[in-house]
Chains A and B, each alone.
Chain A
């Protein structure tokens, strides 16, 4: 989401810059008795003089604008997973690890412990985070998988009390 926002902001900056310059230049051309060079001002002027508020095109545009606004607000206000999570304080100042790196290492550790299609998610705040792992394995593997994930979190120097939730689905058939 942070990257998306950055790209959106860069695009918005470009659009504002170009649109603002275009408006200023076209208005300048009109002021000095010329005609607008790029913007089809006459056509827009004619169209907006005809367009009524009850027109379906106006209503449609308003609906799209409202929907885009609603989606933006929901995306921005929904809690975001942290980009970086902090390691255990210990004797050193804590390091910050990329959340995706932690997710990958946990998923790999689960795969080595026999979980198929492991998917791990790190949520919470940078200083207080938790790990959720989902995958396919027999329920009797639960403890072994938990031990593998804990060992991997230790190697990542995660705070020792980091909560871990493991949800295993049964495989379709037992693999010999």
Chain B
């Protein structure tokens, strides 16, 4: 999105600059190069209806400020939308023998699920730090994983580990998330000495 935005800004600046150069060097037949930037006609047009001009300027300024705010917000938005809601498990329908105890609902906090996944991922020696994000509906959330691994990590084994973690998570929570992205980062370390 930023790339498109800056391409458009670049084109607008390029066209504006080239037009200015052409006008200033007298190559545009409909513009007199001796004309001043703020011509008396423009000033007259402003003065003819000063109240409306000022009102338009105020509205324009507020619109520009709003655009700026939206652009700022877009830069700080997190990927994948809001985190998954807490998991709500209704009482099981299986008939129980004997006197029925009071059955309640079970709630699993979304934060608890996040933490469980993170801990399980970090149980592997090759993973130094794991960050997980579950988003979307609780019955079928999307999962984003970021792993910081040791400098000599074997990525095929990491993939195995992630698979096993997902299986364990499904067994314990009953939720099978869509693994939408696993990003592996290998932090830099000092170059190895040549033997």
Contacts and interface: CB of A to CB of B under 8 A. Distances in A.
Given A19-B65, A87-B159, 14 more contacts: A16-B71, A20-B61, A20-B67, A23-B57, A27-B58, A51-B37, A53-B32, A54-B26, A63-B21, A66-B20, A71-B10, A73-B11, A104-B186, A157-B158
Interface stretch (B84-92, B101-109, B115-123, B187-195): B187-195
Given A20-B66, A62-B20, A101 B186 contact: yes
Interface of B: 2-3, 5-7, 9-21, 23-26, 31-38, 43, 51, 54-55, 57-72, 74-75, 151-152, 154-156, 158-160, 162-163, 179, 181-186, 188, 191-192, 194-195
A124 to B, nearest CB: 18
Interface stretch (A108-116, A139-147, A166-174): A108-116
Given A17-B65, A53-B23, A101-B184, A69 B15 contact: yes
B37 A20 contact: no
Contacts of B16: 62, 65-66, 69
Main secondary structure of the interface of A (DSSP, over half): helix
Contacts of A16: 64-65, 67-68, 71
Interface in A103-147: 104-105, 108, 111-112, 114
A55 B37 CA distance: 10
Nearest to B152: A155
Nearest to B35: A53
A104 B188 contact: yes
B159 A95 contact: yes
A75 B163 CA distance: 39
A90 B159 CA distance: 10
Given A13-B72, A27-B54, A111-B191, A52 B33 contact: yes
Given A27-B57, A95-B155, A108-B191, A70 B14 contact: yes
Contact of A59 (B19, B25, B31, B68): B25
Interface string A31-71: 10000000000000100111111110011011111111111
23 contacts: A5-B3, A14-B72, A20-B65, A21-B65, A23-B58, A24-B61, A27-B54, A27-B61, A50-B36, A52-B36, A52-B37, A59-B25, A62-B19, A62-B21, A63-B17, A67-B17, A69-B9, A92-B160, A97-B184, A98-B183, A104-B186, A111-B192, A114-B194
